[in-house]
Amino acid sequence: MQAYIDDSKGPPVFVLAGFIARTDQWSALTARWHDALDLPPRLKYFKMHEAHTCTGEFTGWKQTDRDVRLASLAGIIKDHVVAGVSSVVRQDDYDEIMAGRIAKPLDYPYWLMYYSIIMRTLLLHRENGLVEKTDFIFDEQPDQSRQVQEHFNAVYDLAPPQIKELFGNPPFNSDDKTTLPLQAADMFAWHIHRSCYERERGFEFDSPTMQILRSVRHYDYSWTRERLQALLIDHELHGRRAGKISIHENRRMEAKFPADSSLVNLRRIARAVPNSCVPLTPFPAKGTKRFLLVDSCPFSRNPHLHRRSGNKCLLEKKASDPAAGSELQQQESEMRRNGSAPRSTSDRA
């Protein structure tokens, strides 16, 4: 079995879609597709976007002639494939839930869709009693292809044993201008994307070509918000159980550490028993860069803050001011009598 997969991206969704067939079926499709491209006016290759806009290879075509060619190509697909497969994610949902929360090189919908369509296709094979190994061929992606290939072994290792049995050769990428089955996948991916686009606008997309493609058995896996959230939670839990934190997650934790440390220190101070020693996180938390935490000094034997400039104690001015000193003595006497903290503005601050 072979699955040829292409993408169609742009708001509102990212789509990966294509077809599954046996090698002899793909050979027959390739021969007929080649003959269809050679019909006058001849096409060097097929690209659905160019067909839709009558640009590129379809420059100067009448829409009626284009529609006849599209129907012919869609009919070839229907005659030779076993099923269509697709994976769809709304870009707004991905940006809100996933973006910035996984390793940066893989923080792109293509990574998510690439492996989800592989795993989903193999699960469908298993559910339908198919036992043939399957190769996956994707369209070239200059920015993403190398990165996902490098991480494929990790995904393969995590796959259930019954799914590993269905893996053929490692997935690879090919040029859709020379690999004709990828042109069939391009047609399918474009139509799914167009259908999603029109549905977002409140319309239902339809065309003679779409009707032919709909008649092919189709397995779709849409990444809903709930599935994205569950995936993210599962990803983080798996990392915790394995005792691993990704570089990207570690950097995110480092960036949040000053704010988190400040919050922890403030909570400890707020809950402290009056006149007690409070253990603080030894970190220059936000808002304290102008101060030093010291164990003791002539003005106080308890841990407290000094001004960083000149290493001056915050109590020095109060101690040198007779009025303030008298107030300090009164507050200390009040604490000893009542066992409560002084209530002056400076102490509350």
Does one domain contain both 180 and 268?
no
CB neighbour class for 255 (10 Å; exposed up to 12, middle 13-18, buried from 19): exposed
For the full predicted model, state whether its pTM sits above 0.85: no
Total number of domains in the chain: 2
Percent of the chain with pLDDT over 90: 36
pLDDT band, residue 144 (cuts 50/70/90): low
pLDDT band, residue 283 (cuts 50/70/90): low
Question: Over the Cα atoms of the chain, what is R_g?
Answer: 33
163 touches 13 (CB < 8 A): no
Place of tokens 């193999």: 122
Structural domain ending residue among the three candidates 190, 220, 244:
244
Quick one: how far is CA 59 from the chain centroid? 37
Q: What is the mean pLDDT of the chain?
A: 81
Structural domain ending residue among the three candidates 218, 244, 270:
244
Does one domain contain both 206 and 302?
no
Residues 6+ apart with CB under 8 A from 193: 8, 9, 10, 13, 15
Structural domain ending residue among the three candidates 244, 276, 310:
244
Bridging pattern class, strands 83-90 and 13-21: antiparallel
Q: How far apart are CA 28 and CA 180, in angstroms?
A: 11
In one-letter notation, the amino acid at residue 336 is R
Does one domain contain both 294 and 182?
no
The predicted model gives 247-255 an average pLDDT of 70
Question: Residue 296 belongs to what domain range?
Answer: 249-348
Q: What is the CATH number of the domain that holds 88?
A: 3.30.420.10
* pLDDT higher than threshold 70 for residue 318: no
Q: How far apart are CA 72 and CA 346, in angstroms?
A: 84
183-223: pLDDT as tens digits:
999 999 999 999 999 998 899 899 999 999 999 998 888 88
| Alpha carbon distances (Å) from 262 to 31, 249, 271, 275, 311 | 68, 20, 14, 21, 22
DSSP classification of residue 58: G
Does one domain contain both 171 and 293?
no
In one-letter notation, the amino acid at residue 307 is R
Helices assigned H by DSSP within the chain: 23-38, 48-53, 63-80, 91-97, 109-127, 145-150, 152-158, 161-164, 180-200, 208-214, 225-241, 247-271, 316-320, 322-338, 345-348
Does one domain contain both 254 and 189?
no
SS3 337: helix
Does one domain contain both 156 and 187?
yes
